A = this chain, B = another copy of it.
Amino acid sequence: MKILLIGGSGNIGRAIAAELSGRHEIIAAGRHHGDVRVDIEDEQSIAAMYRQLPRLDAVAVATGGRNGHVGPLAEMNAERYRVGLDAKLMGQVNLVLRGLDKVADGGSFTLVGGAWQPQAIVPLLSNVYMANAALEGFVNAAAVELPRRLRINLVSPLLLAESEAEYGPLFRGVPLVEARQVARAYSLSIEGAQTGQTYRLGRLD
């Protein structure tokens, strides 16, 4: 398969490349690295990226762009919620919408969610939880409308072991999941048969 991997330089992206590059052709895309450049918050940049690419069998997204505004609920407002809605949510949604004609029959889109478990919710991240939940709703709904047996799934890891040093203080006690386990969920989505699924990694129950 020809797999477009967007955000290949992060922990998850590198693990996906390690998991899949032995048996598939990976085309890496990123804001600063990769075979093609793309800013997922810019629809024109997404369109320009797809124009440069051959027919694809899968689009795997491993970045949420700016992700979401981190801050106390009491200091949130519509503008701050807009960060996650424009970047992580609509950035990925636009990658799907603009890529519909680029992916071969039976091909797949795999998006990235994140910190997801109601029992393990921590403060400061309401924008991130909002965007991740919205992605789940989108993936559920888009799955029933995709043409040509195209499929779509969401991979939602809790805290990456590889990110503990950076984000651990925000997520004290939250279960860790290794990037290579997350990459296996991408394999399940891309090389499997399911659609409309959310693959959750790192549970506390």
Contact = CB atoms under 8 A, between A and B. Distances in A.
Interface stretch (A12-20, A30-38, A118-126, A182-190): A118-126
Contacts of A77: 97
Contacts of A43: 78
Contacts of A97: 73, 76-77
Q: A-side binding surface: helix, strand, loop or mixed?
A: helix
A173 to B, nearest CB: 14
Nearest to A132: B137
A146 B93 contact: no
B93 A145 contact: no
A52 B96 CA distance: 45
A85 B90 CA distance: 10
Interface in A87-141: 89-90, 93-94, 97, 100, 118, 121-126, 129-138, 140-141
A196 B138 contact: no
Chain A interface size, as a band, is: 35 or more
A54 interface: no
A137 B131 contact: yes
24 contacts: A43-B78, A72-B145, A73-B97, A74-B100, A74-B147, A81-B93, A89-B130, A118-B196, A121-B140, A121-B141, A121-B143, A124-B145, A126-B138, A126-B141, A129-B137, A129-B138, A130-B134, A131-B134, A132-B137, A133-B134, A133-B135, A133-B140, A134-B134, A134-B137
Given A130-B138, A138-B130, A140-B121, A145 B81 contact: no
